[in-house]
Structure 1
Amino acid sequence: MTQLLGYVDLADPGFVAAVFTIVFSPLFWNVVARWEQKTRKLSKAFGSPYLACYSLGGAILLLNVLRSHCFTQAMLRQPKMEGLDNHIAYYLGFVLLSGGIVFVLSSFFALGFTGTFLGDYFGILKEARVTTFPFNVVDNPMYWGSTANYLGWAIINASPTGLLLTALVALIYVVAVLYEEPFTAEIYRQKAAKSYRRS
């Protein structure tokens, strides 16, 4: 059974490529970041934790471009859903896409490059965890903004394939948060404890 509800061909190579890139991207950056945190090999290889973090960030950006391309191609290769192909759905998709962009960009500006691209695993920490907008509205706004982008794009394209892939994106981000959040909380707890002992 490779057809889902008569709309999504699960065996389509474009769909398979999209699934692979959605799953691989966060797996890659989490494995590499944890390896760096334990060994500092990237920092040693690049001669600086900042250069190593910038390099990983560049790789993550390229993977995100590839993931978005595969997501779009998978949608375009498969049928639209008539129930979503209307003006109301289109404008709803546009609102979701716009909101997602606001969350992603404001998160990036609040964290900076190294904060966005796992600088804490390289020993590059902020003075304290960021709690200003958009972090005072939602935890992990980069992930949920990105999910809203994919959902909006899927609705704009009236794509059941896009909706299914968006659900996968959300699931993968939930797993990533469960993996990343305890680490981030612990390193900032340790930093606060060291600052307290010094004062």
Structure 2
Amino acid sequence: MMRHWDRWLRNTPVLEGAPAHLKRQRLRRSVLWTTVSFAAMQFLRRVDIPASLTELEAPAPSPFHRVQRMVVAGVRRTHVVDLRVAEVQGALATIVLAPLLWNLLARWEYRVRGLSRWVGGDRHRAHTCFCGYVLAFSALREFCFSQAVAVTPAWDLSALTWRITAERALRALGFALYIAGSAISGAGFWRLGKFTYLPEYFGIFCDEIITSFPFNLFADPMYLGSALMHFGYALMHLAPTGLFLAVILSLAYWIAARLFEEPFMNKLYAQERKRRRARALRSAAEPETGIRERAVKGASGRAPAARAVGEPGRA
């Protein structure tokens, strides 16, 4: 059983380029984060949070009875998030497909240079086209997300005596998350510049590792910023559907970054470092060879004759 598992780990495109122990660790974490995410999605889908909070104001003989009333009041027979709505289905599809498709397209470019051949062999132009596709699909995803939030019901806080305070607090928290996510994501784009959106798959590498903000604090600032922006947008609109979709988006980002992009990127940079070292050794050896050839030519008055492979030297 373990031999089959190890063979699958070696051959799978998931975590390509990573050692076996790192693959096991990442897969265990993926299972953990997937479980937590699905639990959060089920909570947001089934629990009416405002209805549960109304029980905080009602008298109860004990904290246990209060929690019991909150659970009974919050869990609804009908789902808070209705997955049958077309806008929600469209948002789900674009959220899941966005990182999947651009990773598949980038891997296709790396394997067969399909985009580069399509634009005449220019890898920089191919990467520009790829960036345009990613931005266009991301814009489509944002549109579907906003439509799903707009057509689905928001939380009804009218039963709370502190409704105004709760609404203002949630909207303020959402606005803060949206601004923080925009700042983190924008700073990441600013630092990367032309190296945004998987340029390594196109043979375009950074000369040095970027260690300034936000990369000194976050491993994937653009993904983190985007997730915070979606959570903030959902809270500003008091939309449980938006929070549900934001959880799915965060999980999709985590899987794309940790299982596909990061290990493969490390593999590509390791190969690039080897190529650069080999080029440096060749360039360091070429001047010495040229000096020796010029010395021999100066001593004999003519260049040394080429010798066939295996021909013995003359005394």
Q: Give the TM-score category using the shorter length.
A: over 0.9
Corresponding residue for 1:151? Answer: 231
Corresponding residue for 2:14? Answer: none
Corresponding residue for 1:92? Answer: 173
Corresponding residue for 2:196? Answer: 116
> Larger Rg: 1 or 2?
2
Corresponding residue for 1:73? Answer: 147
Following the alignment from structure 1 to structure 2, what is the Cα–Cα distance between the partners of residues 129 and 188? 10
Alignment of 1:1-199 (within 5 A): 4-5=45-46, 6-47=79-120, 48-82=122-156, 86-113=167-194, 115-177=195-257, 178-197=259-278, 198=280
Any unmatched runs of 5+ in structure 1?
none
Shift of 1:196: 3.9
Asked whether the 8 Å contact 1:90–1:156 carries over to 2, the reply is yes
Following the alignment from structure 2 to structure 1, what is the Cα–Cα distance between the partners of residues 222 and 89? 25
Shift of 1:128: 2.4
1:78 maps to a residue whose letter is T
* Secondary structure of residue in 1 paired with 2:206: coil
Following the alignment from structure 1 to structure 2, what is the Cα–Cα distance between the partners of residues 179 and 132? 24
* Secondary structure of residue in 1 paired with 2:131: helix
Following the alignment from structure 2 to structure 1, what is the Cα–Cα distance between the partners of residues 203 and 89? 36
Aligned residues: 196
Asked whether the 8 Å contact 2:45–2:240 carries over to 1, the reply is no
**Scaled by the length of structure 1, what TM-score is found?**
0.93
Any unmatched runs of 5+ in structure 2?
1-43, 47-78, 158-162, 282-315
Asked whether the 8 Å contact 2:45–2:244 carries over to 1, the reply is no
- Residues 20-66 of structure 1: per-residue CA shift (max 9 Å, x gap): 00011111100000000011121111121111111111111011111
* Secondary structure of residue in 2 paired with 1:8: coil
- The one of the two structures with greater contact order (alpha-carbon pairs below 8 A, sep at least 6) is 1
Asked whether the 8 Å contact 1:4–1:10 carries over to 2, the reply is no
Give identity over the alignment, percent. 36
Pairwise CA RMSD of aligned residues?
1.7
Asked whether the 8 Å contact 1:7–1:81 carries over to 2, the reply is no
